[in-house]
Amino acid sequence: MTKAKTPVDRRETPEATAPAKVQAEAKSSHDFVMFRETLESIVVAFVLAFLFRTFEAEAFVIPTGSMSPSLQGQHKDVNCNECGHRFRTTASVEGDETDKAKANERQLEAQLDAGQRELSAARSSGHQRRAADIQRQLDYLTNELTRVRQHIKNIEVVGGMCPMCRNLMPMRPDLPKNVAEDFSGEEIELQPSYPGDRILVNKYGVDFSEPERWDVVVFKFPGDGNMNYIKRLVGLPGEEIRIYQGDIFVKPIDAAESEYQISRRPAEKVAAMLELIHDSDYESATLYNAGWPLRWAATTPDGWQVDAKVDGKNVVQRFSIDQSASDPLAWLRYRHITPNEGNWEYARRLAKDGSDKTMLEEAEKAGISRGEWDARLRANEIPKLITDFNPYNASLQRYEAEGRGWQLGANSMHQGTEWVGDLAIDATVEVEEARGQLMLDLVEAGNHFRATFNLADGKVELTAVDARTGEALDFKATGQTSVNAAGTYELRFANVDDQLLLWIDGELVDLGDTTYDPDKLLPTGRKGMIPWASANADEDQGDLAPAGVGALDAKLTVTRLALLRDIYYIAIKAGTDSRAMVDFESTVPMDELFAQPDRWGVFAGRRKRDFKVEEGQLFVLGDNSPASKDCRLWKEAENGAEPGGPYLDRNLLIGKAVAVFWPHSWGTYPFSEKLPILKAIPGWPAFGDMRKVR
């Protein structure tokens, strides 16, 4: 039987990519997983009833992905078959919609069974006209049953896109044979759908105190008291909320326009809401062997030494430098170079065939010269802007795959539609000698925000530089850190909500006031905060190289680099904007827009949308802005219907989300192969995924 594998680092479990068994077993495996999850839910309900019957607490299972990546709805939880990175993609459609369709299927089957009995009785008694009428009804029911069963198949999630290597990973074994052959000949495993995070909701506090901005809250959906929603609280009574450039701005109702101030989140909220863009631990060996460039590269001659070696499905990288006092400042920089399905097709065929001879012959038969073929192949090897891509939204349903002729790829609108400038960089650094300087650099709208460490005494200085002119901006913050001796350090530097934040080994560093006002600090002001890159490839590439690590007179090694982004709230308002979840008007294809600086003027036209929050009301948004039906989309109602507008009535609030207390289980216990009876017992949760809700 196909097993549900625990998505952990492939280095720990080499067997995690072992092929699934025969396709015929896939359905029974899926049904067994669903049975286990149902049984677990019953057990959890009894446990909670016992533990919390005397407390004002309630369990809640998140149904959809509107709060992803912070919290998960029904989803598939997998390791990428190409790079090993664990990611989640939505399977919400396999929940309620599939359940409704299957209920319809069972009803039709029962009607057909009853009809067959009536038909037999009519024929036995010689009532031919009655039998003919029954047969026509049976033909109709049979066609309906065929349609419903096809609908159930069509909405199945058959694939999802890895955020690291952009591989569209197939997730069901009952796909056309050529699909499996295209994926290095590996047999495709069934990836089960898991229920959403089970969270604990504190109901007691909201009766005696007001919730705070940025709390995650659960409430009754206006107009349907049986449906609970979960969102993040953004607006409080007596405020006007503005969504602009992906951020939240607040002012008192009826105050002047100039009173709008950006709403900055506490550091723990920022950390919880960051989404991973790239991790150097998960570079794909398949792509690398096909000549695909690595994301991090040295940009200074004779500076950083990049050691890259293939290890299984990954490329292990180490970035080392050993400078003297006379050597210039040396940089490593990140380029957001993401492959498309054509790049993946080439890389897989090259890995399978051992050469590109067959592909070249096919191109020549199609009238494509070698030069043109090479140009097409490398056309996508260019840096692009960071977008709001979320793998949770990039699932692929069966009907979509069939419509593409089984060329697996995600919908372009699910691969990011907004430029995101609020970023964070993670670096694991081995300082070999306590001398010189180490720098972490982030770029937003052509401005460098930089943390410079003095490795001799641990002092750090935050500064800002205009990339267009190279001139320092009027910003400085300083502090003391523990990075003052040889050793290994985990560093994180973030530029989010117009503030700079620094963590060392997981601890926030106190640097005093690190906020800034773009209208006062930046030459362009806030309105002019659009991406920038020099037209000369040898000069500062600005937002096309949005993160960097610098060294001066230092001896150190970086063993891991990761880039993360903030969530981006899309400015859209029901009754004002189209349903397209895009912040600006543009007819340029997204892949061109994010790669071509001469197109970036459109970002100056990003929308502002304002919302009033009256007394007794709240304003809530989902973290997964492109996929969240929140206050932005609640229309002004007629005749007293609910929701009555873009607000949440305070009386509908249930409580504050406290913790993810029971993440889905992986369906197995230790020794379950030797003791099969264990397989029928509800599995224990994935303890590593238990966490506070931030």
Catalytic residue ranges: 66, 231
Alpha-carbon 463 to chain mean position? 30
DSSP 161: E
DSSP string, 449-487: EEEEEETTT-EEEEEEEETTT-PEEEEEEEEE-S--SSE
Helices (H) and strands (E) in the chain, counts: 12, 33
Element (H, E) at 157: strand 157-161
634 CB contacts (<8 Å, ≥6 apart)?
A: 222, 574, 643, 645, 646, 647
Q: How far apart are CA 473 and CA 446, in angstroms?
A: 12
Pair 542, 532: CB distance under 8 Å: yes
- Inter-CA distances, 330 with 125, 308, 335, 618, Å: 94, 19, 16, 50
Q: Spell out the alpha helix ranges (H) of 196-298.
A: 267-273, 285-289
What are the contacts of 14-19 at 24+ separation with CB within 8 A?
A: 14/312, 16/79, 16/84, 17/79, 17/81, 17/186, 17/313, 19/186, 19/187, 19/189
Tokens 């620094």 locate to 502
| Backbone φ, ψ for residue 480 (5° rounding) | -110, 135
Residue spans of beta strands (DSSP E) within 301-397: 305-311, 314-322, 330-334, 395-397
Q: How far apart are CA 78 and CA 257, in angstroms?
A: 47
Pair 235, 611: CB distance under 8 Å: yes
| Backbone φ, ψ for residue 571 (5° rounding) | -80, 100
Residues pairing with 569 in the sheet: 246
Q: How far apart are CA 291 and CA 229, in angstroms?
A: 47
> Which burial class, exposed, middle or buried, applies to 403 when counting CB atoms under 10 A from its CB (0-12, 13-18, 19+)?
exposed
Element (H, E) at 178: helix 177-182
Residue 491's CB is within 10 A of a number of other CB atoms, namely 23
Nearest CA-CA partner of 612 in 647, 574, 575? 647
- Inter-CA distances, 683 with 16, 364, 571, Å: 19, 56, 42
Pair 457, 569: CB distance under 8 Å: no
